[in-house]
A and B are shown apart, each in its own frame.
Chain A
Amino acid sequence: MRWLGLGVVVAAALLLAVVLGPAHVPLADLATSEVVRSLRLPRALLAFLVGGSLAIAGAGLQALVRNPLADPSLLGLSGGAGLGAVLAIALHVNSPWALPIAAFAGALGAMALVYRLGLVGGAELDPRILILAGVAVGAFTAAVTTALVSLSDAAELRNAFLWLWGGLSGASWDNVALLCVYAPLPVVVLLAAARPLDLLALGEEPARHLGADVESVKRRVYLAASLLTAAAVAVSGVIGFVGLVVPHAMRLLWGHRHRPLLPAAFLGGGALLALSDTVARVAVAPRELPVGIVTALIGVPVFVLLLRKWTAS
């Protein structure tokens, strides 16, 4: 029943994303319209894939660091991606794919740095240090990015922030296909870790006694979640709160077992982002809102409620 409900929400979100838009397309012409085929459809699918990736990555990370406030953007990835994009503009890399590739490389660089810092205490990945390292690396890359932008003479650079918060306007069949090829592997790695993640919730020692290979699971989950987030940032910029709020909402419905929670988070995150992007496109047409604003407008109140609940217990 719950799955059916979620399925209906996903289908409705995708349908609305295709039917609604600033350009008027009569319902009868939906199948033949150039606007629908080359703009709306890839954008709806990209929103779904990105939202799903962010939410499942968030669910995995929250279990990994045993902290309900964990979020993919806490790990310094968005800061690294921003630095990569700004460097690509500053170095005048003139290719249509320069920004996404540079952002992806920047996110991977930040991920490697945070991962290395997470191992500082010894051979074990310490989740607390992981979060602290993520915040520190994020702050540092943001500072370097801002310094580059404010000191540079290229007027173009001032727009780099627009790209970083840009949302899904760069959607095309190319990056939908790219994500369809790229995302399955880390998603499967996360889904396969569902059982050990359940055990990890009991604490690292009990999980080890119950037979979980704790170290290997932590590394696999961290790397898979980071790789998903890096790809999401590369194609859509930084989109907040999907990775934070959706796993919590799904936990209220499906409980704490990760086997149903992880796929539900993927579907729920995809639906939320597809819906948010539709609102962003049509709410103030012909102008457009950054989708990060819409997800935050929905996400922040939920976040505050969770915070109250969390501090009360």
Chain B
Amino acid sequence: MRRWAHRTHLAGLLLVATVACGRGNRSAPPSRISALDDAGRTVALAQPPSRIVSLSPAVTELLFALGVGDRLVGRTTWCDYPPAARQVPSVGDGLNPNIEAVAARHPDLVVLYRSALDETAAAQLARLGIAAALVRQDRLEDIARAARLLGRLTGAERAGDSLAQAMQRLVARDRAPPLPHARVAFVVWDNPPVVIGGGSYLDELAGLAGAANVFHDVGAASATVGLETIVARDPDLIVVLRDSSAAEPPRFTRRPEWQAVRAVRQRHVVSLTGSLFARPGPRAAEAVAEFRRQLEAVTR
């Protein structure tokens, strides 16, 4: 981790120099950058972009990690990390972007989350002559690919590669030994109960931290289940995601019907911060370590 962070810094310096040169020498033939994004579209740029709008909090975080955060000129309302991201003007929502607000920032690259709605938005941006890249960043293994793609597009290839390698190492090697009594259920909403299934980033983080998701067999990223099903699966711990690190347990743990769940009765409830855990990004290793620390604190 530390090594790529260091490289990132160097690469960032190099980049600033390259961009500065590029600006000073506009008559030079354009050095074309081209890459395939996650929607299979070819994104072509004449030069590394100097005005980027990010329409996904995970992308914003990744761009800062690649050392090109200073080129961001627009972000979503939800982009709150790193703190410097808050200084960037917001263009509103990222999943249903306001194209006019995005265009008003005069970007030369817009990065969107890959969804049907955003593919339409990318086509609209293309008609305005603005390059757009669609990035799918749902799971751990997506981060490396996204880092390489964004590194290539922004001219921060070395930073992108080193970040991608760090992510691949995390998936392949840095698996914590399984903890006893660490069968968890992620409860993201209580009425109706919505839990996190096997096809999710959180499920992967749980595996890396040495815990097991009792709803791993549910293929979807999240699913509505019956309270009775949670009782039957009998998790050792309930994990909830919070906007902030609130000290008190969530209110549903005090409701009478939830007392049928053993982990709720025993007050084995772990609160994780949404911005760190709900967003696949360069802080994945940090998230795993934090998760492990909280698991050990409760299961001890």
Query: A interface vs B, CB < 8 Å?
Result: 21-24, 34-35, 38-40, 42, 94-96, 98-99, 150, 153-156, 159, 162-163, 166-167, 169-174, 281, 285-290
A166 and B255 CA atoms in complex are apart in Å by 16
Q: Which of B77, B223, B232, B255 contacts A35 (CB 8 A)?
A: B232
- Interface hit among B16-24, B67-75, B127-135, B187-195: B187-195
- Whether B194 lies near A162 (C-beta < 8 A) is yes
A173 and B257 CA atoms in complex are apart in Å by 8
- Whether B232 lies near A23 (C-beta < 8 A) is yes
Apart from A172-B255, A286-B225, what are 8 other A-B pairs with CB-CB below 8 Å?
A35-B228, A35-B232, A39-B231, A42-B257, A162-B189, A169-B192, A281-B228, A286-B218
Q: Which of A153, A174, A287 contacts B218 (CB 8 A)?
A: A287
B224 within 8 A of A: yes
B168 within 8 A of A: no
Q: Which of A35, A281, A288, A290 contacts B231 (CB 8 A)?
A: A35
- Whether A96 lies near B226 (C-beta < 8 A) is no
Q: Which of B77, B225, B232, B252 contacts A288 (CB 8 A)?
A: B225
Q: Which of A22, A98, A156, A289 contacts B228 (CB 8 A)?
A: A22
Q: Which of A22, A99, A154, A159 contacts B232 (CB 8 A)?
A: A22
Shortest distance between the CB of A283 and any CB in chain B (Å): 11
Q: Hey, which chain A residues are within 8 Å of B232, CB to CB?
A: 22-24, 35
Closest chain B residue, CB of each to CB of A169: B192
Q: Hey, which chain B residues are within 8 Å of A170, CB to CB?
A: 191, 255, 257
A156 and B217 CA atoms in complex are apart in Å by 26
A173 and B258 CA atoms in complex are apart in Å by 12
- Whether B218 lies near A288 (C-beta < 8 A) is no
Q: Hey, which chain B residues are within 8 Å of A23, CB to CB?
A: 228-229, 231-232
Q: A288-B225, A288-B226 are contacts. A38–B191 as well, Cβ < 8 Å?
A: no
Q: Which of A153, A171, A286 contacts B215 (CB 8 A)?
A: A286
- Whether B231 lies near A156 (C-beta < 8 A) is no
Enumerate 24 A-B pairs (CB-CB under 8 Å) in ascending A order: A35-B260, A38-B256, A38-B260, A39-B227, A39-B231, A39-B260, A94-B248, A95-B251, A96-B255, A150-B93, A159-B189, A162-B189, A162-B192, A162-B224, A167-B192, A169-B226, A169-B227, A171-B257, A172-B257, A286-B217, A286-B223, A287-B223, A289-B224, A290-B192
A42 and B233 CA atoms in complex are apart in Å by 21
Shortest distance between the CB of B89 and any CB in chain A (Å): 16
Shortest distance between the CB of A249 and any CB in chain B (Å): 27
Q: Hey, which chain B residues are within 8 Å of A153, CB to CB?
A: 77-78
Q: Hey, which chain B residues are within 8 Å of A173, CB to CB?
A: 256
Closest chain B residue, CB of each to CB of A21: B228
B243 within 8 A of A: yes
Closest chain A residue, CB of each to CB of B93: A150
Q: Hey, which chain B residues are within 8 Å of A162, CB to CB?
A: 189, 191-192, 194, 224
Which among B215, B251, B257 has the highest number of chain A CB atoms within 10 Å? B257
Q: A22-B228, A39-B231, A287-B225 are contacts. A156–B243 as well, Cβ < 8 Å?
A: yes
B274 within 8 A of A: yes
Q: Which of A98, A159, A174, A281 contacts B226 (CB 8 A)?
A: A281
Q: Hey, which chain B residues are within 8 Å of A159, CB to CB?
A: 188-189, 194
A159 and B257 CA atoms in complex are apart in Å by 20
- Whether B243 lies near A155 (C-beta < 8 A) is yes
Q: Which of B225, B243, B254 contacts A96 (CB 8 A)?
A: B254
Q: Hey, which chain A residues are within 8 Å of B50, CB to CB?
A: none
Closest chain A residue, CB of each to CB of B188: A159
- Whether A40 lies near B243 (C-beta < 8 A) is no
B47 within 8 A of A: no
A40 and B218 CA atoms in complex are apart in Å by 23
Shortest distance between the CB of B186 and any CB in chain A (Å): 14
